[in-house]
Structure 1
Amino acid sequence: MNAANRGVVYKGPGEVAVESIAYPELALGNRKCEHGVILKVVTTNICGSDQHMVRGRTTAQPGLVLGHEITGLVIETGRDVEFVKPGDLVSVPFNIACGRCRNCKEGRTGICLNVNPSRPGAAYGYVDMGGWVGGQTEYVMVPYADFNLLKFPDADQAMEKIKDLTMLSDIFPTGFHGCVTAGVGPGSTVYIAGAGPVGLAAAVSAQLLGAACVIVGDMIEERLAQARSFGCETIDLTQDGDMADKIEVILGEREVDAFVDCVGFEAHACGCNHGKEAPATVLNSAMSLTRAGGQIGIPGLYVTEDPGAEDEAAQQGALSMRFGLGWAKSHSFHTGQCPVMQYHRPLMQAILFGKVNIADAVNVQMISLDQAPQGYADFDGGAAKKFVIDPHGSVT
């Protein structure tokens, strides 16, 4: 077997590079990982969460191999793997979960208790998430394979829709989870904060759940145009004016039923102050714009430490929220990592049976592994695209 491997490595703020890295082994520290598999990576996506690290907005250390959105071909299995076989094409949830702890047994795989010694929950190639090697690589090891992996029923059919199916590892379930936890259903009016890939995935998810009107707000016109391309209403947040007035122009009402925050802690102020960071602005807007008794889904990332924040409180993840307003309006808030396994199988079915075209909605652009640094740079510049890396030329 070829023992060569390459991957996208975080070098420091603003810099990534494609480097030779170790070929994965079925091992966890000094012991064999008989429940794991080795994948030949077919597709692996650049995520906004990766971008937070690359901007230097987390405590990530140089040398981290990036990438938590992985789809791959099984090429080797451990002794204890029973139901996944070499040759299977699989989607890898970005959450790493043991399947054995209390939280996993309750379906809360985003906060597994056994895969990260520092806190509940783990992910591939991410700061403070257990030290697992990322998947923006040619080959990667996946533990607890029988529990974690979603096998596509027909590999040839899956390759025909691989640009859609690669979204099952993270952003499609994450956007869908944001909508579910915001209470989106038939006839709902929904505001999606942010038209990046997760925001666009949330907008598609809201439509799939039967929303009557989906409004997407962002500061980049190209991303707003992408949202309009599949039937969303949009609001340009660089323009001055009261947000409730803008909602009323669209809905005839000043509040929405459901609000989904797909921005997170690097939020900026709206209107004439749109160049200034305001990390709590989306959360405060959510409380202002959501009807009394409504729900707020928060799949956007908030961190416990942000060394790049402009004030000392925000550096510790402490944000100035008008929480009393949310309390007075009986809002419910749902935070945290999406438990991908709750959603990836039904969303796979929606893709395979042609009920949703997520790749078109998020504007997938395929790139090679060597083009990954440029993909990061373009994404950081606000490109209205979802960059999908094809390490072996399997797709393109």
Structure 2
Amino acid sequence: MAGNRAVVYTGPGKVEVSDIDFPGLVLRDGPGVNPRNVGRKCEHGVILKVVSTNICGSDQHMVRGRTTAPSGLVLGHEITGEVIEVGRDVEFIKKGDLVSVPFNIACGRCRSCKERNTNVCLNVNPDRPGSAYGYVDMGGWVGGQSEYVMVPYADFQLLKFPDKEQAMEKIRDLTMLSDIFPTGYHGAVSAGVRPGSTVYVAGAGPVGLAAAHSAQLLGAAVVIVGDLNGERLAQARSFGCETVNLSDHANLGEQIEQILGVPEVDSAIDCVGFEAHGHGHGHTEAPATVLNSIMEVTRAGGRLGIPGLYVTGDPGAIDNDAKVGTLKIRFGLGWAKSHTFVTGQTPVMQYHRELMMSILSGKAQIAKAVNATVISLDDAPRAYQEFDKGAARKFVIDPHGLIK
């Protein structure tokens, strides 16, 4: 049997590459595995040889110690791979297929899945609706920043690429289909972006850049990206976005007015989440800042897409309320302006096929937008450190050296 190596969270600020068990078609006990999931048989699943797996900002929240993730948790929910073993109950996915794995784990059988809300599947996490690989409080499904990984419910979930050779030529783009591209796109769709829209994207990390590119694909007239990091803002400008540097100027509306002539936009997207900082010189953590600021600058009757992560348990939060996800949000402002809010995990399967076709046709250039940077599995700890310091890159781990 082949060995298996993976990126493992070992404590706040620490990850390492470790030997772990080769996956089987069963969910074994281990760090973070819900006791009611231990021993769960997955003959509906497959074993993948991981071709690419990406480091996500959501992973970084755990690595910073800002969640209740246990030491020893295998990280990684953005997975693309080749099928090397199929379970007894798998009918349509075959050995040798190259596939994209939605980061949401979904059974395909429950009410949520049948209504296309695969982000809140009712059967994969005993604690609450919704699950993901390698993530705290998500049922304990083993992460995919590894050489091999098990994926359940293969026939329902997996997106097979129609041509393996063509897919490998575009793998830097296609690897984004597991999470970041659908998540950014969901943020833009939820915010009601359409041809001619003016759009504000809060955050120029990889999800923010993906949301900005998605807004362009949807026909936005102007996309404005705001951040505190000049390098990341330069990356947003590299593919045609306007930018505002919120470390220089605290008033977002004034900066938007300088670009558009009015201090408001049609749509706004929060791609920052619960570790948000205030604006202006000497900014410090203020987790409600982004939510309040996007309500201020979105026109009456506008929509807010909120793919940024918010959690119910944050041991490093600035106050006791924030530790349980209670933030000081100006909900009255949103009510007065008749805003529509859309939050939560992205239902990847609603979008990944159409986005795959956009990539294969050359319409979408998501790898360029997020500055995809391929690294080895052994380089992952260094990449986590660079990402934490604000590197304007999306790190793509290539565990087997398969990417040209």
Band of TM-score, shorter chain: over 0.9
Letter in 2 for 1:141: M
Aligned length: 394
**What's 1:125 paired with?**
134
43, 57, 62: which one pairs with 1:34?
A: 43
Is 1:394 the counterpart of 2:375 in the alignment? no
Q: Which amino acid aligns with 2:324?
A: Q
CA distance in 1, matches of 2:375, 2:241: 28
- Paired with 2:22 and 2:288, the residues of 1 have a C-alpha distance of 42
The alpha-carbon deviation at position 310 of structure 1 amounts to: 1.2
**Could you say which residue in structure 2 is the equivalent of 1:6?**
5
The residue aligned with 2:368 is 360
Matched, 1:247 2:256: yes
Per the alignment, residue 328 of structure 1 pairs with 336
How far apart, in 1, do the equivalents of 2:40 and 2:393 lie?
Answer: 41
**1:87-127 alpha-carbon deviations (Å, 9 max, x no partner):** 00000000000000000000000000000000100000000
Structure 1 distance, partners of 2:376, 2:75, is 15
2:184 maps to what in 1?
175
Which residue identity lines up with residue 26 of structure 1 in the other structure?
Answer: L
Deviations 1:68-99 (A, max 9, x none): 00000000000110110000000000000000
Paired amino acid for 2:387: F
Unpaired stretches in structure 2, ≥5 consecutive residues: 28-37
Q: 1:268: Cα distance to partner?
A: 0.3
Deviation at 1:31, TM superposition (A): 5.0
Q: C-alpha distance in 2, partners of 1:386/1:74?
A: 25
**Contact preservation (8 Å) 2:25, 2:87:** yes
Q: How does 1:82-231 map to 2 (within 5 A)?
A: 82-231=91-240
Distance 1:130 1:104 in 2: 17
CA distance in 1 between partners of 2:120 and 2:57 (Å)? 20
Q: CA deviation at 1:215?
A: 0.1
Q: Tell me which amino acid in the other structure corresponds to 1:357.
A: Q
Which secondary structure state, in structure 2, belongs to the residue aligned with residue 317 of structure 1?
coil
Instruction: Determine which of 372, 381, 384 is the counterpart of 1:373.
Output: 381
Cα separation, 2, equivalents of 1:26 and 1:132: 12
Identity %: 74
Shift in Å, 1:245: 1.1
- What's the CA shift for 1:32? 3.4
Alignment partner of 1:39: what SS?
Answer: strand
**Does 2:353 match 1:345?**
yes
The one-letter code sitting in structure 2 at the alignment partner of 1:347 is L
One-letter amino acid matched to 2:10: K
TM superposition shift of 1:30: 3.1
Q: Is the partner of 2:143 in helix, strand or coil?
A: coil
**What's the Cα RMSD here?**
0.7
Residue 3 of structure 1 and its aligned partner are, at CA, apart by 2.8
- Point out where structure 1 has 5 or more consecutive residues left out of the alignment: none
Indicate which of 57, 67, 72 corresponds to 2:81: 72
Q: In structure 1, give the amino acid aligned to 2:15.
A: V
Cα separation, partners in 2 of 1:136 and 1:256, compared to 1, 3 Å? same
TM-fit CA distance, 1:174: 0.1
TM-score (norm 2): 0.97
Which residue matches 2:30? Answer: none
TM-score (norm 1): 0.99
Deviations 1:25-76 (A, max 9, x none): 0114435321000000000000000000000000001000000000000000
Q: Secondary structure at the match of 1:272?
A: coil
Q: Deviations over 1:109-165 (max 9, x none)?
A: 000000000010000000000100000000000000000100000000000000000
Give 1:195 deviation, angstroms: 0.3
